[in-house]
A and B are shown apart, each in its own frame.
Chain A
Amino acid sequence: MIPDPILKVKNLEVSFDGDKILKDLDFSVNRGDVMAIIGPNGAGKSVLFRALLGLIPYSGRVEWAKDLKISYVPQKIAIDRELPLSAGEFLRFKNKDEAIIVEALKAVGIGSEHKNDPEHYLRHVKQHVLSQRLGWLSGGQLQRVLIAWALLDNPDVLLFDEPTAGIDVGGEETIYNLLKKLHGERNMTIFLISHDLNIVYKYANNVLCLNKEMICYGVPSTVLDPSALQKLYGGEAGFYKHEHKHN
């Protein structure tokens, strides 16, 4: 396959108050890649996303291919339970067409137990999701609604900061399978930040290990060797000893 770069990053640096949060990053991402960004807390993963989106000042070069539609779902959107906004209204901010919204909800696996009966499905989704306050949805449902939101305008690129934070193991699996499916169906380029090396091995074809600087970059099975992981996380951390905490 001929590489078709969708993003080229050269000498990217970000500083806050004189502290270098990111230094000297060089990488490129091809169309249709699933790029995982891993690293310890405070490694600058979310900062990297913000720089890629141009939300914060940086030095160096970030070049996206032309005419891209980019969707971004930031980490931990805390929706106040009291916020008077229904899930339906939230989705309609992006697309007013109900049929398209319902289709997106179906795609992210909401109410999948009713999907074979369209009429019943519509009623179910309207009553239990669209007309509910956004802040009343469970963690898993909210995350799916956010993914649906991100998909509504058919983006070319999806940036997802810890898409499964706060979701139980089963829910996590479903969401990653969904991302994989969407990636396959729509040839979307996906960037995801994850803490979970299992996820990286299973779903990403490219990984960037980040701890303020680039520790490794490439195909997960090749670059994630014990020495890279030790350099990244310190101590004895290795793939098989890595513990996962799911709250």
Chain B
Amino acid sequence: MDSFILQLITGSLIGLGAGYVGSFMVLRRMSLVGDALSHVALPGIAIALLFSINPFFGAFTTLLSAIVLIWFLEKRTELPSETLVGIMFTVSLALGLLLTPEPELLEALFGDITKVTSIDLIITVCSVFAIFLIMSRISEKLMLGIISKEMAQAMKIPIHKLNFLFLFLVVVIVALGLKVIGTLLMGSLVIIPAAAARNTSINLTQYTKLAMLFGISSVILGIFTARYFGVETGPIIVLAAGAIFVGTLLFKK
């Protein structure tokens, strides 16, 4: 397959999944967590590079341990765990910066979509499909938990388990996006399209669909613009998402 087409398809699918998962990150007021979470991937990538393992698995492992921690904090304290999470995640970013071999550092931080392979596409297709399948089954229940945790629990909805499952999907989409836009910026692709969609939607269906649409548009717009100006794609994708967000402010409901 032509490398550019490959980038477009893989990127769009990641934008789609990020929009969907991100819509619930924003609703659960976890925007900062989402953003900081992606930084945790860096030490994982570094360790994987040091031991010559596929960086995806390194990132996935550290991200998974991070969500176990977030989940545990949410469950135990009921408090917004943002301060602690913020500190821990920036510390792990610092650690990752030291550990990552210099030649790979830039790529790990900002991604490099030109290195996407057809194996990546296959992994992305399967993962995004799984995300859709699971999200469509749990989104109503997650929403009830957002409205009132007690009401949801009284309906015998296993809120804590669903929260964990949801955070796991966040990890999957963040890990997928690392190659495309990197550890520093992937969190923004999860959060910004959803935040933009919230500005303009009245109901949940509209909201999640728009978040996906904005996710895809950011990626496509970013890829084309970056190609046209011959610059790095990752940062341009995030700028495109930011521009969409500003645009939606004009139509704020």
Contacts and interface: CB of A to CB of B under 8 A. Distances in A.
Interface in B117-150: 140, 143-144, 146-148, 150
A79 B147 contact: yes
Contacts of A134: 147
A217 interface: no
A207 B117 CA distance: 70
B151 A77 contact: yes
A133 interface: yes
A84 B203 contact: yes
Contacts of B253: 133
Contacts of A85: 143, 147, 203-204
B151 A131 contact: no
Interface in A33-78: 50, 53, 55, 70-74, 77
A215 B154 CA distance: 27
B150 A84 contact: no
Contact of A86 (B154, B197, B204): B204
B27 interface: yes
Nearest to B29: A80
Contacts of B143: 85, 93
A97 to B, nearest CB: 16
A11 B25 CA distance: 42
Nearest to A79: B147
A187 interface: no
A84 B147 contact: no
Contact of A72 (B140, B147, B154, B206): B154
Contact of B201 (A73, A74, A84): A84
Contacts of B144: 93
A93 B155 CA distance: 12
B153 A84 contact: no
B207 interface: yes
A84 B204 contact: yes
A50 B148 CA distance: 13
B232 to A, nearest CB: 33
Given A83-B27, A93-B140, A131 B203 contact: yes
> What 6 pairs across the A-B complex have the smallest Cβ distances?
A84-B207, A86-B203, A72-B154, A84-B201, A74-B150, A85-B204
